[in-house]
Structure 1
Amino acid sequence: MKWKSIRYRLEYMVFKCLVAIVDSLSYRQSVMLAHGLAHMLFFWLPRKLTRYEVCRENLKIAYGDDLSDERADEIILGMWRHLIRVIFEMIQMPRKLRRENFRECITFHNRQRAVSAYLSERPRIVLSGHFGNWELSLVSFGLFGFYVGAVARALDNPYLHDWFKDFREQSGHYMILKSGASEQISQEMERAGAVAMLGDQDAGRRGLFVDFFGKPASTFKSIGLLALQYDAVICVAYARRLPDDFVNSRWVRYEIGTEEIIDPRDPQFSGDVRAIAERYTEALERIVRRDPEQYFWVHRRWKSQPGMKAKPKKKQPAKVA
């Protein structure tokens, strides 16, 4: 236990040093550093550490034989560049992105649909995936007074967890820990509030299997159930990084978009959880297909498959009176 505490402190110290360095860099310098670190991760580190085989397996499932080995490696390298840049952008965001210069960095797609849904008097579920800069989407909502309860998993390192929690809450949102989140989410729905969550992770053997890239993927039932139970509108959103422009831009450029609005009142859903899950999963797939380098291929999205048996529970040793 003592060693774990020491390790967490050391990890946090290294992270804080990185924060200090990155926060002092210019736009171009931070991009160059991110690309250099991604190159080291991809070419120098053992592939087991970077979960290369998991990424390749996921891409094989998603694209089949249409994807060459060269293109697969391009996507994986691009993914690492993107993920490192996301962390760098989070570090720089408080001093780089403000309401006054928002239009220099952000463009919108289907903005009116999102605003109309958000200004309704009904509960809202802002749904996205591990794509683009999902943290930037939250900050963008907060800058204009649209606050949400952000559902997220607690990080193992408590010091890093507190840093990310402070980052998310500085723009007016509050965190809902994924473990035991149902009560807080229900309270938010009952008062016609809004929650933000990521809906593209494996839901285990008890999940609802719907196609993602044409292959069955275990999907959480809870999103559709919440929408039906509380008459909540689902807004499938994304934040997609646009090509860099070092000449005319002082920082990164993103497109924040609404891919789909799912209203459980629509007759085509009529209380059907599966139909809702299929609709938002199709929307997430369209988002990923446009820019696969900006998706988190490290996660084993197709880990669970239909027909897999649940693992038997381990027998607990008998208690001695």
Structure 2
Amino acid sequence: MTDSRASLRHRLEHFLYLTVEAGLDRIDMATCVALGRGLGRLAHALSGRYRRLVERNLRIATAHDPLPPEALEALVKETFLRGGANFLASLKTQVMPVDLLARQIDPEALKILDRNRREGFGTVVAMAHMGNWEALTRLGALVLEPGSYGGVYRPLDNPLMDWLTRERRTSTGARLFSRKDGYYAPSTFLREGGALAVLGDQRAGARGTAMPFLGKITTCPPLLELMAKRGRARIVTLEMRTTTYGKWLLALHPLPEKSSTPEIMAALEKILRSSLPDVFWFHDRWRANAQHPLSLFTRLDPETAARATVPLRLVLSTPADASEGGVQALLARMFEIRPDLRVERLITPSARSDDPRVMLHEWDADAPETLADALVRRIDLSHPAPLDGFLLFGGERPLAMAARRMGHKAILGFSVKGRPWSRSFEPPTDPAGWAALADAMNFLPGRHQS
């Protein structure tokens, strides 16, 4: 295929992909998985950034039942190894014969999709980034009629890779619907009895629905619920987890009719928890906004935030001469906006805490800068869930630098500029100004912005 939009970089990516694909086509699945685990081991050793991200996500996922440090470290490493294995296996899956693929993944569970179709219903298959996620569109050919199953996908920026991916996924009879094309065609497909796979575990941004996911507030896609309603379809969740080298368990779990987005996400949570290292934890789904760390950039009802069981954690420092009454006004307003908030406050001479959600931490403002990393890490590990941001209004640049080295992007201060700071405010002069500071850290979208 040629495409006038393809740049030299696009063509190089396309060539490298085809080269890797050709190599994978020459080896069996077990060897492919072993190679993938080796690549995962290398990535774990070389990428501190992604080690921190995976550890952060797994701490959130296990916050209700925290793991000892050694067990968490082992889980992080296994996630890299299995992530590499699942990635290469997914590439091989797209080119291997379907009958051989069925030896690695039993397609028996997919028969529920055909049964729904015979009963006059389409099926929305709620998927997560888990296991060998490319297998579904290939295995459907063994139990479903061509054209009766498919998926919703996001077009790739590289036009050559986008064309190739669509060709691979549709070669056995699957249909693809672009996210950019709206609801009409997928809804019609579902009403006609089709089975449609839709990813449901990604961060949905400003268009998503705010709710706890794995206990922590984020935005979740309403697409699954909307597709099912408009297509008058049933919903099942897809479980895909590793059983042994080069083999996966495929299971579909039906949900009650008219399941809501929170109910769908709760079912997906259960799927993810069934095999944590099989989940693709390399996406920063719970990241705090660098400019507005109290905001999700969508409407968030405080009652919804109060249902979270994993807190939004912010470190707070204040100038030594700050009015304690003003600081308390700031804290009160922050808790009104985000009832799921937990504040890790650095002690000043006048600091007090009457709220169990405010934890006081001793520290030495005159300590050498080399100890900043240890202080930040100590505060971070004082709770099972990781830190989300830093409100260093006392101007502690060494702590801000330590936070940046840990991968944090929400680092705010008073009268500061340049890296590592993400935003600067003028110091408030009265309690009302301190309370207004909380509102400035919370973005409320307008009618056409949400």
TM-score, normalised with respect to structure 2: 0.58
1:149 aligned partner: 150
- Give 1:163 shift: 2.1
- Give 1:235 shift: 1.3
Write out aligned runs for 1:114-153 (5 A). 114-146=113-145, 147-153=148-154
Instruction: Give the Cα separation in 1 of the matches to 2:243 and 2:85.
Output: 13
Paired residue secondary structure (2:198): strand
More deviation, 109-118/80-89 = 109-118
2:281 aligned partner: 297
Write out aligned runs for 1:141-180 (5 A). 141-146=140-145, 147-180=148-181
Flag the 1:144–1:113 CA change in 2: closer, same or farther, 3 A.
closer
Instruction: Give the Cα separation in 2 of the matches to 1:87 and 1:119.
Output: 34
Flag the 1:25–1:84 CA change in 2: closer, same or farther, 3 A.
same
- Give 1:312 shift: 8.0
Paired residue secondary structure (2:48): coil
1:210 aligned partner: 211
1:288 aligned partner: 272
Per-residue CA deviations over 1:86-133 (Å, capped at 9, x if unaligned) read 34324433664434x566333468666555334321232111111112
Are 1:136 and 1:239, in contact at CA under 8 Å, matched by a contact in 2? no
Are 1:205 and 1:309, in contact at CA under 8 Å, matched by a contact in 2? no
- Give 1:197 shift: 0.6
Are 2:40 and 2:85, in contact at CA under 8 Å, matched by a contact in 1? no
Are 2:236 and 2:252, in contact at CA under 8 Å, matched by a contact in 1? yes
Are 2:126 and 2:237, in contact at CA under 8 Å, matched by a contact in 1? yes
Instruction: Give the Cα separation in 2 of the matches to 1:298 and 1:102.
Output: 26
1:43 aligned partner: 45
Flag the 1:137–1:47 CA change in 2: closer, same or farther, 3 A.
same
2:89 aligned partner: 89
Does residue 263 of structure 1 match 2:247?
no
Instruction: Give the Cα separation in 2 of the matches to 1:31 and 1:179.
Output: 34
2:395 aligned partner: none
1:15 aligned partner: 17
2:322 aligned partner: none
1:231 aligned partner: 232
1:318 aligned partner: none
- Give 1:293 shift: 0.7
Instruction: Give the Cα separation in 2 of the matches to 1:3 and 1:199.
Output: 31
Are 1:134 and 1:238, in contact at CA under 8 Å, matched by a contact in 2? no
Are 2:110 and 2:140, in contact at CA under 8 Å, matched by a contact in 1? no
Paired residue secondary structure (2:205): coil
More deviation, 152-161/207-216 = 207-216
Does residue 98 of structure 1 match 2:232?
no
Alignment length, in residue pairs? 291
Alignment-mate amino acid for residue 309 of structure 1: F
In structure 2, list runs of 5 or more residues that go unmatched: 288-294, 301-336, 338-441
Q: What percentage of residue pairs aligned between the two structures are identical? A: 23
Flag the 1:239–1:309 CA change in 2: closer, same or farther, 3 A.
same
Per-residue CA deviations over 1:118-158 (Å, capped at 9, x if unaligned) read 43212321111111122112211222225323111111222
Flag the 1:80–1:120 CA change in 2: closer, same or farther, 3 A.
farther
Are 2:58 and 2:76, in contact at CA under 8 Å, matched by a contact in 1? no
- Give 1:232 shift: 1.4
Are 1:23 and 1:91, in contact at CA under 8 Å, matched by a contact in 2? no
In structure 1, list runs of 5 or more residues that go unmatched: 245-251, 265-274, 314-321
Instruction: Give the Cα separation in 2 of the matches to 1:177 and 1:107.
Output: 28
Flag the 1:21–1:230 CA change in 2: closer, same or farther, 3 A.
closer
Flag the 1:165–1:70 CA change in 2: closer, same or farther, 3 A.
farther
Instruction: Give the Cα separation in 1 of the matches to 2:126 and 2:240.
Output: 12
Alignment-mate amino acid for residue 128 of structure 1: M
Q: Which has the greater radius of gyration?
A: 2
Are 2:198 and 2:224, in contact at CA under 8 Å, matched by a contact in 1? no
Per-residue CA deviations over 1:58-101 (Å, capped at 9, x if unaligned) read 222222271344333333333333333334324433664434x5
- Give 1:26 shift: 3.3
Are 2:209 and 2:221, in contact at CA under 8 Å, matched by a contact in 1? yes
2:443 aligned partner: 309
Alignment-mate amino acid for residue 41 of structure 2: H
Alignment-mate amino acid for residue 298 of structure 1: F
Alignment-mate amino acid for residue 84 of structure 1: G
Instruction: Give the Cα separation in 2 of the matches to 1:121 and 1:134.
Output: 27
Paired residue secondary structure (1:155): coil
Flag the 1:228–1:176 CA change in 2: closer, same or farther, 3 A.
closer
Flag the 1:130–1:162 CA change in 2: closer, same or farther, 3 A.
same
Are 2:122 and 2:194, in contact at CA under 8 Å, matched by a contact in 1? yes
More deviation, 192-201/202-211 = 202-211
Flag the 1:208–1:149 CA change in 2: closer, same or farther, 3 A.
same
2:78 aligned partner: 78
Are 2:152 and 2:179, in contact at CA under 8 Å, matched by a contact in 1? yes
Instruction: Give the Cα separation in 1 of the matches to 2:207 and 2:20.
Output: 40
Per-residue CA deviations over 1:143-201 (Å, capped at 9, x if unaligned) read 22253231111112222222221111011112211123323223323434332110111
Paired residue secondary structure (1:172): coil
Alignment-mate amino acid for residue 269 of structure 2: E
More deviation, 163-172/118-127 = 118-127
Are 2:111 and 2:143, in contact at CA under 8 Å, matched by a contact in 1? no
Superposed CA RMSD in Å reads 2.9
Flag the 1:114–1:42 CA change in 2: closer, same or farther, 3 A.
same
TM-score, normalised with respect to structure 1: 0.79
Paired residue secondary structure (2:260): helix
Are 1:58 and 1:297, in contact at CA under 8 Å, matched by a contact in 2? yes
Instruction: Give the Cα separation in 2 of the matches to 1:112 and 1:6.
Output: 44
